[in-house]
Amino acid sequence: MNGDGFFPRWTLKTEGVIMPDERLPSGQTVVLGLQHVVAMFGATVLAPILMGFDPNVSILFSGIATLVFFVVVGGRVPSYLGSSFAFIGPVLVATGATVGQPNPNIGVALGGIIAAGALYTLIGLIVAVAGHRWVERLMPPAVTGAIVAAIGLVLAPIAIQSASGIGPGSPEGSAFARWMAILTVIAVGVVAVYAPGIWRRLPILLGGAVAYAAYLVLANGLGLGAPIDFSKVAAAAWFGLPNFTSPVFTGNAISLIAPVAIILVAENLGHIKAIGAMTGRNLDPYLGRAFIGDGLATMISGSFGGTGVTTYAENMGVMAVTRIYSTLIFVVAALIAILLGFSPKFGALIQTIPGPVLGGLSIVVFGLIAATAGRIWVENRVDFSEPRNLITVAVALVLGAGNFKLNLAGFTLDGIGTATFGAIILYHLLNQGHRREEPAGTRISPSVADA
């Protein structure tokens, strides 16, 4: 890259492929930064809503996290950091919260998120010193795919409960809620398949908007369901501080949430390799710094009420389409996100999204998380005729789907934790005596844009 300093010297380029150490004119940089905000928006907002967090805080810290990542990697790796879906299951279990409802125990979840960020940072420091190959050997594609599939399966009951309208006042749910959830799923699918150009990369945002409009007509207009209440939107100020929350550290929450760091490592590894392939540059030397940046950003976010963060496939999709990889664009995107985070009216509007619409979006997102496992296995040519691969995946899937819990010295691992550590331990136990194979670069992204 250009420049021998910590940061590159970005050179101006106005056409063709724009590499990470190049830049566009200021006006185009701002427009493309806004496009990246739109790309990350749907998933980054959906995750905190499902966990009962304040979406304003999460949007704000997605911007701050992106700036932290930019600084730690020295502006060498183009990436946006948004809310990680890997935290949803452990957070809901650790706090006992209901999906889509305000979380009364956010502080407890934040303690676990900070612990995950600390573990992630520690792994990054080790990678920076010892190299990254050990990570690929520890979590080959058979294992990472199994872990990702387990995440989606653990979350499945949560999505169905929300889609059915099941809650304290409606233990059986409602037919209207189920049909609205189905409509939401269809809307997302139609956008993902048939929308023109770049709009096809925004299925959650656009499909959710269509479903929201349909709910508004059917519920507020025709009285078929609980109407959307806009009173809080009208009362909210245009600008103001979001609702920050302090973390609370408990052993149970830490044991449930900290293992998510393993997922984030595998995800970031796959993203860095994918960006390297797109740009034709070897970004492996920055893996340790990327892990550290993501880990520190997660700790900072969790310290004030934000979700854990991760590199976003949505924004990699935008880069693939535009062939513009300038890291300066992500500085602009981060600043725009920070500005949105200081708008209570914006946050109040987000929180009017009806439960059945959230349920339909959850079905798609959580299903895509599980389905991503298949993509990992296919792209990395995982051989399921090998018993160690087949048994590892089979066991992890059932541990996740059944939400198998295990108590260890006062700590409790839920389905994601037991599936994660079970897959890693079982694979290497069954791999004893086999010829060591060089693992293919893991391609993992538990996020909706990989559809």
Q: pLDDT tier at 451 (50, 70, 90 boundaries)?
A: very low
Confidence at residue 448, expressed as pLDDT on a 0 to 100 scale:
40
Which region among 31-40, 109-118, 131-140, 382-391 has the lowest average model confidence (pLDDT)?
Answer: 31-40
Question: DSSP letters along 393-430, please?
Answer: HHHHHHHHHTT--EEETTEEE-HHHHHHHHHHHHHHHH
pLDDT of residue 167: 63
Residue 415 has pLDDT above 80, yes or no: no
Q: What is the pLDDT of residue 440?
A: 45
295: pLDDT strictly greater than 90? yes
- Which residues pair with residue 309 across a beta bridge? 83
Using pLDDT thresholds of 50, 70 and 90, give the confidence band for residue 174: confident
Per DSSP, the three-state class of 35 is helix
Share of the chain above pLDDT 70, in %: 88
- Alpha-carbon gap, residue 2 to 297, rounded angstroms: 26
Q: How close are the terminal C-alpha atoms of the chain, in Å?
A: 32
Q: Which of 312, 262, 67, 73 is nearest to 150 (CA)?
A: 262
pLDDT at 406 over 80: no
Query: Which carries the bigger pLDDT value, residue 99 or residue 329?
Result: 329
Q: For residue 112, what pLDDT is reported?
A: 93
Tell me: pLDDT of 441 over 80.
no
Question: Residue 326 — φ and ψ, nearest 5°?
Answer: -55, 125
Tens of pLDDT, residue by residue over 79-137, are 999 888 788 878 888 888 777 677 888 999 999 999 999 999 999 999 999 887 887 78
For residues 265-289, one letter each, b for 16 or more C-beta atoms within 10 angstroms of the residue's C-beta and e for the rest, the string is bbbbbbbbbbbbeebebebbebbbb
Give the best-scoring range by mean pLDDT among 147-156, 226-235, 392-401.
392-401
Indicate if the pLDDT at residue 145 is higher than 50.
yes
Q: Cα–Cα distance between 55 and 343 in angstroms, integer?
A: 11
Report the mean per-residue pLDDT for the chain: 82
Residue 125, pLDDT score = 95
- Mean pLDDT, range 277-291, rounded to an integer: 85
Domain ranges of the chain: 22-165+230-353+373-450
Q: Which amino acid is at 203?
A: P
Tokens 């409602």, located at residue? 174
Give the separation between CA 432 and CA 316, rounded to whole angstroms: 37
Least confident among 61-70, 149-158, 392-401: 149-158
Of the candidate ranges 36-50, 227-241, 288-302, the one whose mean pLDDT is the lowest: 36-50
When pLDDT is cut at 50, 70 and 90, the band that residue 450 belongs to is very low
Summarize the confidence of residues 306-334 as an average pLDDT. Answer: 83
What does the pLDDT read at residue 209? 86
**How sure is the predictor about 445, in pLDDT bands with cuts at 50, 70 and 90?**
very low
3-state SS string for 212-273: HHHHHHHHHHCCCCCCCCCHHHHHCCCCCCCCCCCCCCCHHHHHHHCCHHHHHHHHHHHHHH
Q: Angle formed by the axes of helices 260-279 and 313-322, to 10°? A: 0
Q: Are 341 and 63 in contact (CB under 8 A)?
A: yes
Q: What is the DSSP string of 52-100?
A: T--HHHHHHHHHHHHHHHHHHTTT-S---EEE-GGGHHHHHHHHTPPTT
pLDDT band at 49 (very low <50, low <70, confident <90, very high): confident
pLDDT at 409 over 80: no
Of the spans 3-17, 69-83, 256-270, 341-355, which averages the highest pLDDT?
A: 69-83
Task: Round to whole Å and give the CA distance between 379 and 400.
Answer: 23
Would you place residue 37 in the very low, low, confident or very high pLDDT band (cuts 50, 70, 90)?
Answer: confident
Residue 403 has pLDDT above 90, yes or no: no
Mean pLDDT of 307-324: 78
Q: Please tell me the distance from the alpha carbon of residue 10 to that of residue 22, in angstroms, as a whole number.
A: 5
State the pLDDT at residue 151. Answer: 73
Highest averaged pLDDT of the listed ranges 116-125, 276-285, 316-325, 334-343: 116-125
* Whole-number Cα distances in Å, 48 to 60, 175, 362, 367, 425: 12, 26, 12, 18, 31
Run of H or E residues at 22: strand 22-23
Average the pLDDT over 69-83 and give the result. 92
- The predicted structure's pLDDT at residue 171: 64
- Calculate the CA dihedral of residues 218, 220, 221, 224 and round it to 10 degrees: 40
pLDDT mean over 376-391: 87
